[in-house]
Chains A and B, each alone.
Chain A
């Protein structure tokens, strides 16, 4: 495959590039991305490509995170092909069915992998993941981000970016796809039980109001909830033997004393608080890269990074360290792009089923 990476900035516009790429992936955190103009310009440059992308909470090109610009990666496949399936969310739609439908659309000879970009605020990622899993094909992807504003997210799918849209990219042919999914947060403290919750809203933990728990732990920084809540994601597992998913605190409800997470926290599940360990975060990113690494070291390919806004906020200035360790692991011949999302879709490294993750580094590598 042949990969070209360009950037658009306010000042300079697009860095030059034009090709007969088959696929263009664009990520941005600025208004321009939301305009039709952005899509038109991309189309001009890559007339035969499928153009997909989404808004982010940080755009990744190579080992740099950027905001306020648009990053795009054009890929020319030599031995494989891509196809798109798009769905727009109607009100009250069953996200699971939508996901399943998308997968059904992409069903076909030689389908190796599906990469999904979804609206980040209107979609229940867990449901989507369940729907996507029904086809039995490996799926990765992410939920579009909106910086730290949590306002509106946009998804571009062979059309100008719009909200409430889900796009699934199917990869067919001789393409090796691998993925990695590691987080690096550390559980601490008592095992607790989610004694009252509804979907992704948790009302009580161990029969105590969920909000009070976080406030206790945040102490002074409780004032900056919910963003300070990012520092204590919740590790959730059905029982001690199941794998634990990480859930990011999205919002708090002072009245209900409830917490809203970025993913479902089913009632009766066990949960534990997790804390930051910066070194661990970075090391785990490396683990994810290792997991996604192809057998042939230093092979040429593409790495799609879907990390989490929660990670960015915590890592702060060290965020790019996690990208650098990916580069380190994957070698210099792999192009890296991606975004910081509101939710990551990926299977655990040893499980096929795609899950919705938070505050997790997920990688998808494509090699021909």
Chain B
């Protein structure tokens, strides 16, 4: 019975209760059930236990399996893996981590990971745990990735890339899992790739990588530099974009076949740049295989454009070298003790010398080409130069193989390499035999030409002189003859002779000039030229003739033109004489006007000669300037002349850089014009400056000729004067009256003589007689020189008569005189006629003694007479030698020196005289020369002459020149002591005299010493002496002397001894005069 049941029964029914009957079976049933329950319970408990232990076993096994599996998995990883707990202590590490870190898992389990393997940075700085990103995963739910360095057991830094995750269970982080890789090799690989990339990028050659189909995958910067394509423009494109079309299909087919078969292909080809330009390249294509199959191509290209160019050039040069006629020899630089050997010769050498190439190659050059006539010294010098490494050239005689010689020019040049080391010599041999001959011939011809030219010049100059001298004689004598008393017939004959001589001279001059021009010997001077003088001078020259023909001549020079221009006055005068002469010649009545104006074209001067002559037709004009043409033969007969005049004028004008032309109308007149470059001189003449009184002078012009009026008005206006004009006497009167009524009467009236109706003189009388016109001074203007007219004019009340052509200055002077002598009475006849030898004597100039040096008797007489007329006393020397002697004895005011004389010519004489002068008292020497050529003037000046006159001597010019030089000679500088002042200072005349004498003697002494010092160029001494002189002179008020002394002092200090010498001369001259003054004073004092 079940215990429980039994107990229950006993409890409920008593201890000894025994069930019976039905109860028994009932109790049995219950008991049975209790038993069953118990059994059931036991069974179930057991089952439970068994089950639990079974499950635990399974769990264990699973866990182990899992752990095992995990471990195995983790250990198969190549990445290092470790796990930590929340403290950062390691709970697990796989074998890969062991390998990387060098620690065993057991070494690190339970250790703080960071402090063991991550505690420092590679640079040595500490790495605190707080800053380590790996330890951040505990706080975040995300993992971290990065790169860092772990420290292995050996203490080395291992570069790693890591990933760390938090380990989470049931939403809570309980640790971290870190996987890491040793990236050392990766870094190495990366830097290797970078290196390779850099190598590719920096390669000087172009590199293209393309895939197997030819599409470009990579190009390096060199590619861009050469082709102009940027990388992104070509990547993905097919490489055929570079094709230039210069290679055919077969070329490319071969290329592809080769590389696709896995072989390297190399060749040269032409490709196209981005800008379309073509370039040569040498290309190597290497296929890249991957697992036995071509995957890519690498093309390395070299731009060989430059190379090909060089190659082509080399080829050309080579061909050129071989094709020239000169021999080219290239030899090596010899080693010490050896000779230079021939390395190469060209075809030209072979031809020239006859030696074959193989005969000379490798042999020393000196073995060949020498022979008897070869200059060995020259050869040695050449070798020496070559050894030095310099280039050299020489002429010598070489010998061919067959023994014949030839003149040769050898040029050797060194060849250096890029380090400047001498590597070769190149010799160029030129056969100059022919050249020599040609040179000889040329020299001959040259000499001949020179000789011919010289002969021509000599001829011209000689002829010039030879012809002119007798001509001069004829004309001069004839003039003299005419001046004497001649009977009518004689007069006639003499006139005829003179005219013929004049004509002949003109013709000869023309011819000589013409031939001079043709020979190219005509030289044009460029000197200061006063237009006014030239033009007015020419007009004057021809005025007489004009007056004879009753043709009025006027000149006008535009006042705005520069007073001095650069031109050749002689030639200009020549041209004008020709033109004006023609104008006068061909005009029967009317007038001739010569104007000098500014030309319409800038920078040019225009000179016009206008006449109212016969005029010319167009056809006539056409041939005008040609030589030997006159208008027609009838003209020659009527008017004479050579026909050369205009031709010469034209050439002269052209030589002066100008143009000449004519405008003409038959029956009306002609205007010849000359246009010349207007070059103002740096100097200026003393301009006709209107002085203040002259301004606003009121002038009335009464003249029927419009041109006259025009000219006069121009001049008046330019001087600031007020002018009015009247066309005839009647109008003139009217204007005079009006002016008086207005209270502004005219100061001067210029009245032309020949006017229609009332003539000028009559008008003058009227005006003079009328009291209301007394203020107005009268000036008569006339075209003709008539003695009667002069007297008539003066009687009529004209104070001045001006003859046309009126000079600018004449007019001005006349007006000025009027103003000056407004109150003064008297009539001064100012008259300057031209060309007549009958000149009134000028105020006595008996002090002026002139030495005339002339060998020709006729010319002697001529000059003497002329000089006499001018009022000069003349002494004669017949040759240079005489002249020198005479010059030394007498202090002539001026010496007129003929140039061409026997024994000693003018130049030599002048030089001698100058030498004798030694810088003291230089006398003017004026040359008289028949050669009027440019060179002569220079010669004269060089010889020491001051000026020159051309023969035949123009009296007016002579007068001018003499006046100038005499005046200058007379114009001595004096340094006069101021006696009054000195007297005041010293009070006593005697004392003063004594002082002055002392001064004189001491100064003389000083001067002598100074002279010596300056001769010896002793600066110190000269300085001191000059200083003393200065002081002494200044004390006595001798300012000029003092100034000079000061100058000497300065220049001596500077060492300008030449200047010192000049100044000393001047000082001495002054002193001499002072000496004279002192003597004179003393005489006067006592």
Q: Are A316 and B47 in contact (CB under 8 A)?
A: no
Among A190, A219, A317, contact of B46 (Cβ-Cβ < 8 Å): A219
Tell whether A176 is near chain B: CB-to-CB under 8 Å.
Answer: no
Tell whether A189 is near chain B: CB-to-CB under 8 Å.
Answer: yes
Q: Are B32 and A218 in contact (CB under 8 A)?
A: no
Tell whether B375 is near chain A: CB-to-CB under 8 Å.
Answer: no
Tell whether B54 is near chain A: CB-to-CB under 8 Å.
Answer: yes
Given contacts A188-B51, A189-B54, A216-B50, contact A317 B29 (CB under 8 A): yes
Among B33, B36, B42, B51, contact of A189 (Cβ-Cβ < 8 Å): B51
Tell whether B320 is near chain A: CB-to-CB under 8 Å.
Answer: no
Q: Are A217 and B46 in contact (CB under 8 A)?
A: yes
> Please, which residues of chain B bring their CB within 8 A of the CB of A228?
43
Most buried by A among B33, B43, B55, B58: B43
Q: Are B43 and A188 in contact (CB under 8 A)?
A: no
With the chains together, A221 CA to B43 CA distance in Å?
A: 8
Tell whether A182 is near chain B: CB-to-CB under 8 Å.
Answer: no
Q: Are A190 and B32 in contact (CB under 8 A)?
A: no
> Please, which residues of chain B bring their CB within 8 A of the CB of A217?
46-47, 50-51
> Please, which residues of chain A bring their CB within 8 A of the CB of B58?
190
Tell whether A232 is near chain B: CB-to-CB under 8 Å.
Answer: yes
- Total A-B residue contacts, Cβ distance less than 8 Å: 43
Among B29, B39, B50, contact of A221 (Cβ-Cβ < 8 Å): B39
Report A208-249 residues with CB < 8 Å from chain B CB: 216-221, 228, 231-232
Q: Are A317 and B43 in contact (CB under 8 A)?
A: no
Tell whether B663 is near chain A: CB-to-CB under 8 Å.
Answer: no
Tell whether B40 is near chain A: CB-to-CB under 8 Å.
Answer: yes
Q: Are B42 and A232 in contact (CB under 8 A)?
A: no
Tell whether B44 is near chain A: CB-to-CB under 8 Å.
Answer: yes
> Please, which residues of chain A bring their CB within 8 A of the CB of B36?
316-317
Given contacts A188-B51, A190-B58, contact A276 B32 (CB under 8 A): no
Question: A238 CB to closest chain B CB, in angstroms?
Answer: 22
Contact with A along B525-537 (1 / 0, CB 8 A): 0000000000000
Q: How large is the interface on B (under 10, 10 to 19, 20 to 34, 35 or more residues)?
A: 10 to 19
With the chains together, A190 CA to B47 CA distance in Å?
A: 12
Q: How large is the interface on A (under 10, 10 to 19, 20 to 34, 35 or more residues)?
A: 10 to 19
Q: Are A231 and B43 in contact (CB under 8 A)?
A: yes
Report A189-216 residues with CB < 8 Å from chain B CB: 189-190, 216
By beta carbon, the residue of chain A nearest B59 is A190
With the chains together, A276 CA to B45 CA distance in Å?
A: 12
Question: B47 CB to closest chain A CB, in angstroms?
Answer: 5
Contact with B along A148-165 (1 / 0, CB 8 A): 000000000000000000
Among B40, B46, B50, B51, contact of A276 (Cβ-Cβ < 8 Å): B40
Q: Are B42 and A220 in contact (CB under 8 A)?
A: yes
> Please, which residues of chain A bring their CB within 8 A of the CB of B51?
188-190, 217, 273
Contact with B along A14-55 (1 / 0, CB 8 A): 000000000000000000000000000000000000000000
With the chains together, A275 CA to B29 CA distance in Å?
A: 24
The secondary-structure label for the interface of chain A is helix
> Please, which residues of chain A bring their CB within 8 A of the CB of B55?
189-190
With the chains together, A317 CA to B58 CA distance in Å?
A: 38
By beta carbon, the residue of chain A nearest B45 is A219
Q: Are A317 and B33 in contact (CB under 8 A)?
A: yes
Given contacts A190-B54, A220-B42, A221-B39, contact A275 B47 (CB under 8 A): yes
Q: Are A316 and B33 in contact (CB under 8 A)?
A: yes
> Please, which residues of chain A bring their CB within 8 A of the CB of B42?
219-221
With the chains together, A368 CA to B32 CA distance in Å?
A: 43
By beta carbon, the residue of chain A nearest B52 is A189
By beta carbon, the residue of chain A nearest B53 is A216
> Please, which residues of chain B bring their CB within 8 A of the CB of A220?
42, 46
With the chains together, A232 CA to B46 CA distance in Å?
A: 12
Among B29, B32, B33, B43, contact of A219 (Cβ-Cβ < 8 Å): B43
With the chains together, A167 CA to B159 CA distance in Å?
A: 84
With the chains together, A273 CA to B51 CA distance in Å?
A: 10
With the chains together, A42 CA to B58 CA distance in Å?
A: 59
Given contacts A189-B54, A190-B58, A217-B50, contact A275 B33 (CB under 8 A): no
> Please, which residues of chain A bring their CB within 8 A of the CB of B54?
189-190
Report B9-39 residues with CB < 8 Å from chain A CB: 29, 32-33, 36, 39
Question: B320 CB to closest chain A CB, in angstroms?
Answer: 101
With the chains together, A273 CA to B50 CA distance in Å?
A: 12
With the chains together, A216 CA to B39 CA distance in Å?
A: 15
Given contacts A190-B58, A218-B43, A220-B42, contact A317 B50 (CB under 8 A): no
By beta carbon, the residue of chain B nearest A317 is B33
By beta carbon, the residue of chain A nearest B47 is A217
By beta carbon, the residue of chain B nearest A313 is B36
With the chains together, A130 CA to B47 CA distance in Å?
A: 34
By beta carbon, the residue of chain A nearest B29 is A317
Report B47-77 residues with CB < 8 Å from chain A CB: 47, 50-51, 54-55, 58
With the chains together, A275 CA to B48 CA distance in Å?
A: 10
Question: A322 CB to closest chain B CB, in angstroms?
Answer: 16
Question: A336 CB to closest chain B CB, in angstroms?
Answer: 24
Question: B470 CB to closest chain A CB, in angstroms?
Answer: 163
Question: B511 CB to closest chain A CB, in angstroms?
Answer: 150
With the chains together, A220 CA to B29 CA distance in Å?
A: 23
> Please, which residues of chain B bring their CB within 8 A of the CB of A216?
50
> Please, which residues of chain B bring their CB within 8 A of the CB of A189?
47, 51, 54-55
Which residues does B use to contact A, with CB under 8 Å? Answer: 29, 32-33, 36, 39-40, 42-44, 46-47, 50-51, 54-55, 58
A and B contact pairs by CB, cutoff 8 A, 19 listed: A188-B47, A189-B47, A189-B54, A190-B54, A216-B50, A219-B42, A219-B46, A220-B42, A220-B46, A221-B43, A228-B43, A273-B47, A273-B51, A275-B47, A276-B44, A316-B32, A317-B32, A317-B33, A317-B36
Given contacts A189-B55, A276-B40, 19 further A-B contacts (CB under 8 A): A189-B47, A189-B54, A190-B54, A190-B55, A217-B46, A217-B47, A217-B50, A219-B46, A220-B46, A221-B42, A221-B43, A228-B43, A231-B40, A231-B43, A273-B51, A276-B44, A316-B32, A316-B36, A317-B29
Please list the 3 inter-chain residue pairs (A to B) with the smallest Cβ-Cβ separation, ordered nearest first.
A219-B46, A189-B51, A217-B47
